[in-house]
Amino acid sequence: MSATYNFCAGPAMLPAEVMQKAQKELLDWNGQGVSVMEVSHRSKEFIALTEQAEADIRELMAIPANYHVLFMHGGGRGQFAAVVNNFLGSKGKALYLVDGSWSSAAVDEAVKLAGTEQIDILNIVNKDNNINSISLPDLSAIDQDYRYVHYCPNETVDGIEIFEELNAPWPIVADMSSNIMSRKIDVSRYGLIYAGAQKNIGPSGLSIVIINDDLLALPQQPQASIMDYRLAVKHDSMYNTPPTFAWYLAAEVFKWLKSNGGVAAMEAINQQKAQLLYAFIDSCDFYESRVANANRSQMNVTFYLKDESLNEQFIRQAKEAGLVALKGHRSVGGMRASIYNAMPIEGVEALVNFMKQFAQRNA
Ligand code: PMP
């Protein structure tokens, strides 16, 4: 069988080496004769795994000592709620920047929990001639004492990424679910970073939270204990039983990243992969990108066939060629190739070849 390349936006493909190692160890982890799924999260072997995972992510992202790394439940949406409940109390206000579907969903949750009086919203997407672009506002001009400003630097559905640094006079909370560890960032610029694991880190069910200790002092609202950052810190992310298998796989992904040159190496190859695909889309009349050059996501490449009546045929033939999960999100249509860290450049080359041939056949 020839290779299958999985372009799913999430749960997304994981590195083949990690999956092979997990397969090998499935029934006998660490010489214990049982699976990692079957041991206590409080056993010394599992604790050693979590300590290594934390050390590795700290090294990979150069996380400063005054930040905690939490391994929590509830994916990205769980954090939409946790951020509000942990930081706003009954009076605090927050600013939400909207640059696409997920930041908009974060607003919905924040408004549901805190009400419109506590949540201010600022749209930062422009749509000109059907092309999306972002203009980051000068936030220092806003005279408000926000507890935090929330934004999503990579919009998974829309294929929009913000590469420019956001400057803000308040702590920045960033939803990096779909671009964490895809390129180097300066963690010290953020109050809190969170990410659902199922794109660049591991399977779903786990989310990573990187939090500046100063934010732990903010007043909170009554909330579910399992989403309480202070309890998570106090209990080393084990207030209740964590998703242990997802945590184990994340730990293996971190090892894989380290042995493949870390985030800097990922950034270089991710640029190359995205460049290859966008350059082809721009060079071929048959396809179009609807995102301005400066904001084209390196992780989620959205594109459209100019003749959209060929969409179904494109998806079907791509699948036959071993290129799966290319259908765009139902809310925006078109196509989406998610090319996270685990996607080898050969997958992108195979996609470009297929797109070229499909265009020739249907010109
Ligand atoms: N934020 C972003 C940027 C996402 O891409 C997603 C999921 N695709 C979410 C939040 C929601 O994550 P979950 O489904 O884990 O709640």
Residue 186 is predicted with a pLDDT of 98
* 270 annotated binding-site participant: no
CA of 33 to the centre of ligand 1 (A): 36
CA of 190 to the centre of ligand 1 (A): 19
CA of 10 to the centre of ligand 1 (A): 8
Q: What is the ipTM, given to two decimal places? A: 0.99
DSSP β-bridge partners for residue 152: none
Residue 91 is predicted with a pLDDT of 92
pLDDT, tens digit, 9 for 90 and up, residues 318-347: 999 999 999 999 999 999 999 999 999 999
Any ligand 1 atom below 6 A from CB of 190:
no
Residue 146 is predicted with a pLDDT of 98
Between the alpha carbon of residue 228 and those of residues 87, 152, 169, 186, the distances in Å are 10, 22, 25, 25
* 328 annotated binding-site participant: no
Residue identifier of the C-alpha nearest atom 4 of ligand 1: 177
What torsion, rounded to 10 degrees, do the Cα atoms 191, 135, 340, 131 define? 160
Residue 3 is predicted with a pLDDT of 86
CATH number for the segment(s) 25-259: 3.40.640.10
Spans in the chain with pLDDT lower than 70 = 1
Q: In the annotation, is 175 catalytic?
A: yes
Residue 320 is predicted with a pLDDT of 97
pLDDT, tens digit, 9 for 90 and up, residues 16-69: 999 999 999 999 999 999 999 999 999 999 999 999 999 999 999 999 999 999
| pTM exceeds cut of 0.90 | yes
- Nearest ligand 1 atom to alpha carbon 152: 3
Question: Which structure tokens are listed for 15?
Answer: 């590195």
CATH number for the segment(s) 262-362: 3.90.1150.10
Q: For the chain, what are the domain ranges?
A: 25-259, 262-362
| Separation CA 180–CA 205 (nearest Å) | 16
Q: In the annotation, is 199 catalytic?
A: yes
* 156 annotated binding-site participant: yes
